[in-house]
Amino acid sequence: MQKEKILVIGASGQIGVELTLALRKIYGNSNVIASDLREENPLLHGSGPYVSMDVMNKEMLHVQVIRQGITQIYLLAAILSATGEKNPSLAWNLNMQSLLNVLDIAKEEKLTKVYWPSSIAVFGPTSPRQNCPQKTIIEPTTVYGISKYAGEFWCNYYFNKYGVDVRSLRYPGLISYKSAPGGGTTDYAVEIYLEALEEKKYECFLEEDTYLPMMYMPDAIRATIELMEAPKEKINIRTSYNLSAMSFSPKEISAEIKKHIPEFEMSYKPDYRQQIANSWPQSIDAAVAAADWGWKPEYDLGKMTEDMLENLR
- Known catalytic residues? 144
In the complex, least distance from residue 242 CB atom to ligand SER, rounded to whole angstroms: 13
* Contacted entry of ligand SER, ligand NAD, none for residue 15, CB cut-off 5 to 8 Å set by kind: ligand NAD
* Site for ligand NAD contains 78 (CB under 6 A): yes
Task: Tell me which residue of 103, 97, 133 sits closest to 237, measured CA to CA.
Answer: 133
Task: Tell me which residue of 299, 293, 287 sits closest to 256, measured CA to CA.
Answer: 299
* Site for ligand SER contains 119 (CB under 6 A): yes
Site for ligand NAD in 168-197 (CB under 6 A): 171, 173-174, 181-182, 184, 186
Cα 266 to chain centroid distance, Å, stands at 27
**Residue 282: partners with Cβ closer than 8 Å, 6 or more residues away:** 129, 130, 211, 212, 213, 247
Q: Please state, in angstroms and as integers, the Cα–Cα distance from residue 132 to each residue in 25, 127, 192, 213, 308, following that order.
A: 34, 7, 26, 10, 27
Residue 30 neighbours by CB distance under 10 Å: 10
Asked whether the beta carbons of 286 and 244 are under 8 A apart, the reply is: yes
Binding residue for ligand NAD (CB under 6 A) from 22, 27, 49, 54? 54
Query: Binding pattern to ligand NAD, positions 209-248, x when CB under 6 A?
Result: ----------------------------------------
Task: Label the pairing between strands 212-216 and 6-9.
Answer: unpaired
Q: If binding means CB under 6 A, how many residues of this protein chain bind ligand NAD?
A: 27
Q: Rounded to whole angstroms, how far apart are CA atoms 99 and 109?
A: 15
* Contacted entry of ligand SER, ligand NAD, none for residue 81, CB cut-off 5 to 8 Å set by kind: ligand SER
Residues binding ligand NAD (CB under 6 A): 9-10, 12-16, 36-38, 54-56, 76-78, 80, 94, 117, 119, 171, 173-174, 181-182, 184, 186
Residues binding ligand SER (CB under 6 A): 80-81, 119, 121, 144, 173, 184-186
